[in-house]
Each structure stands twice: as structure tokens, then as C-alpha cells.
């Protein structure tokens, strides 16, 4: 009987060790999957801008390799709400550092806010400052990784821009 209890004890210990190993393997597998899963290409990531009761999905204005300039053309425009404009970035942007530049019709009112990784995904911006300056452009920029024509990963600066009327 003592041998039977001892054998049962070893079976329980072995079962606990096996369960712990399975749990560790599952956690490791999920972490590897998260690390290696394909992400949305930065050219396909959109931000949301809400003003005057309208929400607009904005595509990147420019996606440029580091230390290179590239023309962006004309940014989309929307009606300016007299109170606030809300800028919302998706998880892909909010998980890294990003910058919000607000340009007003009075250069003294221009402002830049830099967000660190995971700090914020939404920011309200004054449409009209206390001094009466009106928001003209809001611009979000973030460092990202893109794939070149040869499939090689390259660092880029992605910029989303929206003008206000």
C-alpha cells in the first residue's frame, strides 16, 4: 500500500511538471506568433480625424525613407468645428512614438506634441485658440518600417495630414 501511494505521488508530480511545460510552451508560442505576425503595411494604415460632427479616415500623405524628402500633393480637407478637433491613431501607430503637429493661421499658436510608446491613441485639439487663431492643418507623423521593392525592410517616416476650411 505504501508503494502504491508513493507511485501515485510520482504520477502527480509528473503530471504537474507536464502541465507546467505545456503552459510554458503555449506562452512561448503565443509570444513568438505576436512577434512575427505580419503587420499592416504603413501605406495602408489610416488615422481618424473628427470635426463638426464628421469623421474622416485619412490615408498617409507621405511615406518617405529617412533623410529623404518626398512630395505629398494636396492633403484632404474638412470643415473646422468651432470647438475641438479629435485625432485618433490606430494601435499600430499608438504602440510606438508619434507626433501631432498643429498649424494655425497665426504661427505663434502652432504646437507640436510628441507621444511616447503607448501613451495615447486620441488627442483633442483646439479648433480656435484663446488668441483667436484658427486651426489650418493637423499632421501626424510616426517612424515605421516599410518593405522596399526588393522585400528588404527600410525605416520610413509616415505622415498623415488634414487641412481645415
Q: What is the pLDDT of residues 54-75, one digit of tens each?
A: 999 999 999 999 888 888 888 9
Other Cβ atoms less than 10 A from the Cβ of 104: the count is: 22
- Integer angstrom CA distances of residue 145 from 36, 43, 88, 152: 14, 10, 20, 10
Task: Scan for cell 513568438, then name that residue.
Answer: 32
| Tens digits of residue pLDDT in 117-163 | 999 999 999 999 999 999 999 999 999 988 888 888 899 999 999 99
* Angstrom distance (rounded) from CA 161 to CA 101: 9
Q: Which three cell numbers stand for residue 39?
A: 503587420
Amino acid at each position: 500500500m505504501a508503494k502504491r501511494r508513493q507511485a501515485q505521488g510520482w504520477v502527480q508530480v509528473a503530471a504537474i511538471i507536464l502541465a507546467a511545460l505545456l503552459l510554458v510552451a503555449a506562452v512561448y508560442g503565443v509570444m513568438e506568433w505576436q512577434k512575427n505576425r505580419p503587420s499592416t503595411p504603413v501605406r495602408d494604415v489610416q488615422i481618424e480625424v473628427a470635426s463638426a460632427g464628421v469623421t474622416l479616415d485619412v490615408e498617409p500623405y507621405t511615406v518617405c525613407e529617412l533623410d529623404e524628402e518626398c512630395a505629398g500633393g494636396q492633403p484632404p480637407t474638412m470643415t473646422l468645428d468651432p470647438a475641438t478637433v479629435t485625432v485618433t491613431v490606430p494601435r499600430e501607430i499608438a504602440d510606438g512614438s508619434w507626433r501631432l503637429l498643429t498649424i494655425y493661421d497665426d504661427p505663434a499658436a502652432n504646437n507640436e506634441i510628441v507621444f511616447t510608446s503607448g501613451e495615447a491613441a486620441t488627442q483633442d485639439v483646439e479648433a480656435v485658440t484663446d488668441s483667436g487663431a484658427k486651426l489650418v492643418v493637423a499632421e501626424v507623423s510616426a517612424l515605421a518600417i516599410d518593405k522596399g521593392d526588393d522585400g528588404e525592410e527600410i525605416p520610413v517616416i509616415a505622415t498623415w495630414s488634414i487641412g481645415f476650411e
